[in-house]
A = this chain, B = another copy of it.
Amino acid sequence: MKLLTYSFRWLTSLFLVVAFQAHSQHTQAYTFPSSEVVTLHSKLLNEERKVYVHYPKIDSADGNRRFPVIYVMDGDNHFALLAQYVDYLSRPDVLAMPKTMVVGIPNTQRTRDLTPTSSLLNYEGKPDSSSYKGSGGNEKFLQFIETELIPMIDKKYNTAPYKIFAGHSFGGLSALNCLLTHPDLFDAYIAVSPSLWWDNGYLLRMTDETLKNGSALNKVFFYSDGNEGGRNSFFHKDLLKLDATIAKKKLKGFDYLYKHYATETHMTEPVAAYFDALRFIFKDWEKRR
């Protein structure tokens, strides 16, 4: 038995030596920045919710430093991209933004959580009960974020008070809805191609009615659209309306930027828009350095 083991070891070594010499190469795993999946039970939503958490690489210079947090919806689509942006832009040889945490929120029932009203109408205003049944749960989802998710993250990690809320499409709708209904929850809001068509332009009307001087003070808002059916698309018209509505209010201390990506599709636009949004939100941080 001992001889067999020995022979086997010897043969393995021989094989490794031969393999190594034949290829003159060896392979090991590449380590991406560490991130983790945290599962919490939401009493409000009555379900288990996973979130993806990316924490900055800390070094001795950081001491007990606390980090701002970006909460991004559609976590399966955009978490890894934002984690990469944050790592890149906060590198010591780049320093365009501070080290920042990213919390990605993947969906369980996307339409339920990311729409502000119960509506069965599609973007043409025609009923589509199969797609939009159960819509209108955004208020409850925002309460989950406010009373369950953020407290858990703040307890578990070294977080700074500064928080950003980011979303695309229905997620963009939710970011704008949060700015209108819970403006104090976050410091900056990113709405990439928000689906403003929802419920016959409900959030366009709400923006006009509720966005006021006090609530918008010291808030940052980035919103954008891509080439979603050309210059006459409903997306582009809606975003131009939103931009005009915000501009005419001349809100004090409200820092906003609208960008149109004429060469990007609805799905490629977030790559450009999330980068520009971070650059916009942290422009003063970069200048202060």
A33 to B193, CA, bound (A): 27
Contact B279 A152 (CB under 8 A): no
Contact A279 B268 (CB under 8 A): yes
Which of A149-172 touch B at CB < 8 Å?
A: 152, 156
A25-B152, A88-B81 known; A275 vs B271 contact (CB < 8 Å): yes
Q: How many residues of A contact B (CB 8 A)?
A: 44
Interface 1/0 per residue, A78-93 and B, CB below 8 Å: 0011001101110101
Contact B30 A35 (CB under 8 A): yes
Which residues on the B side are within 8 Å of A24 (C-beta)? Answer: 40-41
A88-B271, A271-B88 known; A25 vs B37 contact (CB < 8 Å): no
- Any B CB within 8 A of the CB of A23: yes
Which of A38-85 touch B at CB < 8 Å?
A: 38-41, 52-54, 80-81, 84-85
A209 to B280, CA, bound (A): 42
Interface 1/0 per residue, A250-289 and B, CB below 8 Å: 0000000000000111011001100100010000000000
Contact A39 B52 (CB under 8 A): no
Distance from A40 Cβ to chain B, minimum over Cβ atoms (Å): 4
Which residues on the B side are within 8 Å of A91 (C-beta)? Answer: 267
Distance from A51 Cβ to chain B, minimum over Cβ atoms (Å): 9
Q: Given B26, B33, B38, B81, which contacts A27 in the complex, CB threshold below 8 Å?
A: B38
- Any B CB within 8 A of the CB of A4: no
Which residues on the B side are within 8 Å of A25 (C-beta)? Answer: 38-41, 152, 156
Distance from A249 Cβ to chain B, minimum over Cβ atoms (Å): 26
A32 to B23, CA, bound (A): 27
Distance from A36 Cβ to chain B, minimum over Cβ atoms (Å): 5
Contact B271 A85 (CB under 8 A): yes
Contact A29 B37 (CB under 8 A): yes
A267 to B88, CA, bound (A): 9
A85 to B272, CA, bound (A): 11
- Any B CB within 8 A of the CB of A232: no
A279 to B26, CA, bound (A): 33
Identity of the chain B residue whose Cβ is nearest the Cβ of A152 in the assembled complex: B25
Q: 4 more A-B contacts (CB under 8 A) besides A24-B40, A29-B37? A: A29-B36, A95-B267, A96-B268, A263-B279
Q: 5 A-B residue contacts at CB 8 Å?
A: A28-B39, A30-B37, A88-B271, A93-B267, A272-B275
Q: Which 4 residue pairs of A and B lie closest in terms of their CB atoms, listed nearest first?
A: A32-B32, A30-B35, A25-B40, A94-B267
